[in-house]
Structure 1
């Protein structure tokens, strides 16, 4: 399991800003994975969860 930090998450998932990333985590329909704490003031995301979310979004929009 690999943990990735916010900058890499934004690049990988195509979020233009931190606020768009955090809004996606609050989405009702396709919520973005929540980060895990890796320290007092540090979070990271599980890379496989982020990639699975991307794959699900691709499938959702192709099916539409």
Structure 2
């Protein structure tokens, strides 16, 4: 399993969005919350970010993207 964590500058680059917009989307439930690798190190799973971007490219509605984000975050809890 290839897990890659993207830090905020890379997420900004990948999405083309500002830090404020990224955190607004997290609050709205349309972007997954970051994962904390340590108390001071946060990042986003590359696979989750790509899934959301592909959903946007496919023209999914905001409610569909919220469902996708909820599913992605729920799947994190199933990892053993």
Supply the distance in 2 between the matched residues of 1:60 and 1:14 (Cα, whole angstroms).
17
Which residue does the alignment assign to 2:47?
48
After TM superposition, the runs of 4+ consecutive aligned structure 1 residues lying more than 3 A away are: none
Q: Give me the TM-score of the superposition, normalised by structure 2.
A: 0.66
2:7 to 5, 8, 11: 5
Which residue does the alignment assign to 1:14?
16
Higher helix share: 2
CA-atom RMSD, angstroms? 1.3
Supply the distance in 2 between the matched residues of 1:19 and 1:26 (Cα, whole angstroms).
11
Where 2:44 maps in the other structure, the secondary structure is strand
Supply the distance in 1 between the matched residues of 2:57 and 2:28 (Cα, whole angstroms).
16
Which residue does the alignment assign to 2:73?
none
Number of residues paired by the alignment?
A: 58
Supply the distance in 1 between the matched residues of 2:53 and 2:39 (Cα, whole angstroms).
28
**Unaligned segments of structure 2, at least 5 residues:** 61-80
**What is the Cα deviation at residue 21 of structure 1?**
0.6
